A and B are shown apart, each in its own frame.
Chain A
Amino acid sequence: MSGPLLDIRGLTIGIPNRSGPPVQIVRDLSFDILPGEIFGLVGESGSGKSASALALMGLNRRPLTTLRGQALYGGQDLLAMSRRSMRKLRGDRISMIFQEPMSALNPLARIGRQIAEMFVLHRGLSWSEAGPKAVEALAAVQVPDPEGRARAYPHQLSGGLRQRVMIAMAMACGPDLLIADEPTTALDVTVQAEVLRLIRGLCERQGTAVLLISHDLGVIAQMCQRVGVMANGRLLELRDAKALFTDPRHPYTQGLLAALPRLGSRATEGRHRLADLDMAIDRDAPDFAATYLCPRGEAA
């Protein structure tokens, strides 16, 4: 297949407003994800990254509503799909993992059972057939002693192990796309590196594309081929990762990169502070300036 795996066009998410137009959380977001590619989406909290991802899964909760846009996957529009066919796609062709590994597993079910359920659900296997597959899946995410761990309950595992279990569940059916929403934010740095390596390795092997959502530029730089920068519900820049980090174009991106602390540099000398970000941005960019650069409280 040569075309993009997922082609998102003009995605707009908002909260309907009884008096007046809806409040828009994500505005006119367009990008595509190629098969097997790792695509990064960076942005600060509230920039609309997670809302966009959940919209693709058809899982945004009221009052968040998808107002406009298309997300073409294999010729079908994910945003216009019936609940039933969307549900069949979720976990099978498109999977998602989250930030909180501590709460993402059912506390009352054994690990093995929870993974096995994916095969029962999407592959129609019986529980006895699915059991050994769950152990294989645990082994694939490099959980030591997979057979023993399959019998463990979530509270008996560490955060890193739980995130591995989540990955095992999400990757069980060999999806085409894995949406990873801040997958390592809750983990400490060493575990973070292992988990990222694991995601990359698994996805390369299975040919799975990844939509990696993060506010951590380091993680993005390390993992992604292409990167989109979001702020205030808009995609500001979409570039090849290397180009983005060496030659950022949008003032916001430039400011963001300039604000990165560098090991060994003095605290404030020679780098911008995030608080100064608006100073570094071209105020002539019309709509962005109008919505973002106004000091708090003054925004229309």
Chain B
Amino acid sequence: MRMPFRLNLTLGLALVSLVILGAVFAPLLTPHDPILDADLMNSEMPPSWDHWFGTDSQGRDVFARVLYGARVSLTIGIVAQAINSTIGIALGLSAGYWGGWWDDVVNGLTNLMLAIPSLVFALAIMAVLGPGVPSLLIALGLTNWSWSCRITRSAVMSLKSQGYVQAARTLGYGDIRIMLTQLLPNIVGPVLVMATLGIGEAVLAEAALSFLGLGIRPPAPSWGNMLTDAREAIRSVPWATIFPGLAVFVTVLGFNLLGDGMRDWLDPRMQVRA
């Protein structure tokens, strides 16, 4: 039956679309401003018709902050992963195709990156660069390319002995042209899957860094710093932590399911079995 593995894809797509739509249409979905609508008279109110997710300690609407926080998280997640993928694909393509000493260098670098916990590395970069979106993009975009690189490299190594790659060489294609026109289109599947899974990781890492005070600076809303703000009142004002936490959960789960679903969907062996 097709159902079991289609479920991943469908559910992942639904969750990711939910988050993306929420981020894009945030101003239409809530009348409240995430930063300016601080109303201390109405602070720490439980969820109500007016404040769907309640209000936080400064009386700001949690629903609005979660929505606007999604903009920050998604932007950082997608852009950082785009940087990661670009680095990983470029290194993996060239290393797999050229081999030799360059392959050794790239391999060494990849192993080095895998040996350092990427969150710790990102933390160090943030500590040097200071908080803010640009430093977050650098910290998250430069620390998580190793898997993209590995997958690309191994795919290229198995593809480069294919007849059409050989033929392209005899017809005068340059190395770069071969990589971009003959190899890259043929490895898009696994690379896309890695990128999707990577977005989830980047969102999680951004939340962690912001939670530690090194990511997005308050009062700008980010799921991570919302958790920091509300963690001391976690018993009395649970909604201020539950909802941003839930948002991280849904987003990461969504991207992971989507990535997994795409892997199953793009893998020809899975289709035969289905």
Contact = CB atoms under 8 A, between A and B. Distances in A.
B188 to A, nearest CB: 9
Interface in B134-192: 162-164, 166-174, 177, 181-182, 185-186
B172 A105 contact: no
A91 B173 contact: yes
Contacts of A102: 163
Given A87-B174, A103-B164, A104-B164, A59 B181 contact: no
A91 B167 CA distance: 10
Interface residues of A, dominant DSSP: mixed
A90 interface: yes
Interface string A220-233: 00000000000000
Across the A-B interface, give the 6 residue pairs with the lowest CB-CB distance, nearest first. Answer: A91-B172, A103-B163, A91-B171, A90-B172, A96-B170, A104-B163
Contacts of A118: 171-172
A121 B173 contact: yes
A106 interface: yes
Given A107-B186, A117-B181, A90 B171 contact: yes
Interface size range of chain B in the complex? 10 to 19
10 contacts: A87-B172, A90-B169, A96-B171, A98-B166, A103-B164, A105-B164, A106-B168, A108-B185, A169-B167, A170-B171
Contacts of B170: 57, 59, 90-91, 95-96, 98, 179
Interface in B17-71: none
A92 interface: yes
A274 interface: no
Contact of A59 (B162, B163, B169, B185): B169
Contacts of A96: 167, 170-171
Nearest to B169: A59
Contacts of A97: 167
B64 to A, nearest CB: 45
A26 B37 CA distance: 83
A109 interface: yes
A249 interface: no
Contacts of B167: 96-98, 104-105, 166, 169
Contacts of B185: 106, 108-109
A200 interface: no
A155 interface: no
Given A109-B181, A109-B185, A89 B164 contact: no
A97 B167 CA distance: 7
A36 B274 CA distance: 56
Contacts of A121: 171-173, 177
Nearest to A100: B163
A169 B164 contact: no
Nearest to A89: B172
A103 B162 contact: yes
A88 interface: yes
Nearest to A113: B181
A122 B171 CA distance: 10
Contacts of A117: 173, 181
Given A87-B173, A98-B167, A106-B186, 7 more contacts: A87-B172, A91-B172, A95-B170, A100-B163, A104-B163, A106-B164, A169-B171
Nearest to B171: A91
A106 B173 CA distance: 13
